[in-house]
Amino acid sequence: MIAKISDIAKYDGQEVTIQGWVANLRSSGKIVFLQLRDGSTGILQAVVSEKVSNKQVTYWKTVELLTIESSVVVNGKIRKESRAPGGFEMEVSDLRLVQRSVEFPIGKKEHGPEFLLDNRQLWLRSQRQVAILRVRDTIIWALREFFRKEGFVMTDTPILTPTSCEGTTTLFETEYFGEKAYLSQSGQLYLEALAMALGKVYDFGPTFRAEKSKTRRHLTEFWMLDAEMAFMDLSESITLQERMIVFVVKKVLAENKKELEILERDIKPLEKVAEGGFIRMTYDQALAELKKLGSDIKWGADLGNDDETILTKAYPKPIFVTHYPVEVKAFYMKPDPENPKTALCADLLAPEGYGEVIGGSQRIDDLKLLEQRLKEQKLPKKDFEWYLDLRRYGSVPHSGFGIGLERTVTWICGLKHVRESIPFPRMINRLTP
């Protein structure tokens, strides 16, 4: 019977097969201790002795060939062993070498991040990276499950686009049969068209920003889930976002206990988030708070990375910062009728210093105002005619938001840098492997 290491406890006393790799090995004379990994969470110690029941084992020669990361198929009996990782070990009765690995470059000593990233194809095999990718998987499915339950339609928006969505400074340009095209920064504009067709919609796919910043929060290619809701205002959208985050965090806490342990993630702050009751404050309130915390931010500036860090360290719950000045936000955001210098928008800042994970707003639904905003931002009207149509043919109040998957994974896993949250990170100085 082929067993998975993650549920090895189920097989106590039974003879099972493990298909996997030798994560580590050490020998003391006639006994070899293998640390096996098989892609599931956890490590299984497998003990090979030269003799089993007084009989010389036939595969001892094979055992002597084993190296770190050699692929193997191992049979043996599972028994309780409190000193072994995971509390069980295997007494090996047979072992087949699938391929003898050449010397593995990772693991002998401490490595710097650049070395590990250069060897990302192999680094991915470490327990820590496996744990992160499993949490990422849980988050993706939790998001999908949430939106399905809420009655949203999952749909898709294009990656090759003729215009920008989030400003022209971070566009990746490419040649498109003699014309210019850009890689999508967000599916939002297209999603607005889909919301007018289907009501409540979301997309989930890769997005691109030619970010020249080398921060722990920025990738040039990342996954975004955009959601767009017809007949919904900013406040209702914020409530929906809070429900979504609570749902996702609860799922991870329920399904990824072992992974969070491997990552040494303190789960108390996550349990606080799972209670709901997120904080809402306006940009003006955030500024007042930031000044008290020592920031010299002036009205009209976007919150910087450091501002987000100190603000979110001061509160145990995620914070919705609303009503930013219109100048620092995208052209499509609806100005607040009560104070048109500010937009009906909200960024969700994750606690513990993590900062922005969601950006969203109510959209301008008035044709004239939207035309004026395009002009002010020097965006070519003719390229946006199709988008303006949404305000000509049955325009309705509508809102939406985008959640960055990698920022969310980084926060929930408690990582120091966003680069570990995606299998193959793309950053200003990295396109390989």
Query: Rule CB under 5 A: which residues touch Mg ion?
Result: 359
Indicate which single residue of 42, 318, 404, 425 sits in contact with ligand 4AD (rule: CB under 6 A).
404
Q: In what order do the strands lie in the sheet with 179-183?
A: 160-161, 179-183, 173-176
CB of 208 to Mg ion, least distance (A): 15
Is 356 a binder of ligand 4AD (CB under 6 A)?
A: yes
Indicate which single residue of 358, 390, 409, 412 sits in contact with ligand 4AD (rule: CB under 6 A).
358
Calpha distance 267→89 (Å, rounded) = 28
In this structure, what DSSP letter does residue 333 have? B
Placement of tokens 């580590």 in the chain: 24
Binds 222, which of Mg ion, ligand 4AD, none (CB < 5 to 8 A, cut-off by type)? Answer: ligand 4AD
Is 226 a binder of ligand 4AD (CB under 6 A)?
A: yes
Nearer to ligand 4AD, 21 or 332 (CB): 332
Q: What is the radius of gyration, based on Cα positions, of the chain?
A: 26
| Closest by CA position to 16, among listed 3, 29, 27 | 3
Please say whether the beta carbons of 84 and 33 come within 8 A. no
CB of 249 to ligand 4AD, least distance (A): 15
CB of 185 to ligand 4AD, least distance (A): 6
Calpha distance 174→176 (Å, rounded) = 6
Q: Which helix (H) or strand (E) holds 79?
A: strand 71-80
Binds 219, which of ligand 4AD, Mg ion, none (CB < 5 to 8 A, cut-off by type)? Answer: ligand 4AD
CB of 358 to Mg ion, least distance (A): 8
Please say whether the beta carbons of 382 and 392 come within 8 A. no
CB of 283 to ligand 4AD, least distance (A): 14
Nearer to ligand 4AD, 37 or 217 (CB): 217
Give the DSSP letter string of 347-397.
EEEETTTTEEEEEEEEBP--HHHHHHHHHHTT--GGGGHHHHHHHHSS---
Six token digits for residue 86: 């995971």
Nearer to Mg ion, 17 or 170 (CB): 170
Nearer to ligand 4AD, 17 or 305 (CB): 305
- Which residues 184-213 are close enough to bind ligand 4AD by CB under 6 A? 185-186, 188, 209, 211
Please say whether the beta carbons of 190 and 233 come within 8 A. no
- Which residues 150-169 are close enough to bind ligand 4AD by CB under 6 A? 165-166
CB of 428 to Mg ion, least distance (A): 18
CB of 402 to Mg ion, least distance (A): 8
- A 10 A CB-CB count for 365 gives 16
Whether the ω angle into residue 433 lies within 30 degrees of 0, i.e. cis, is yes
Is 401 a binder of ligand 4AD (CB under 6 A)?
A: yes
The one segment of 47-55, 261-269, 382-390, 400-408 that binds ligand 4AD by CB under 6 A: 400-408
Residues that bind ligand 4AD (CB under 6 A): 165-166, 185-186, 188, 209, 211, 218-219, 222, 224, 226, 356-360, 400-402, 404, 406-407, 418
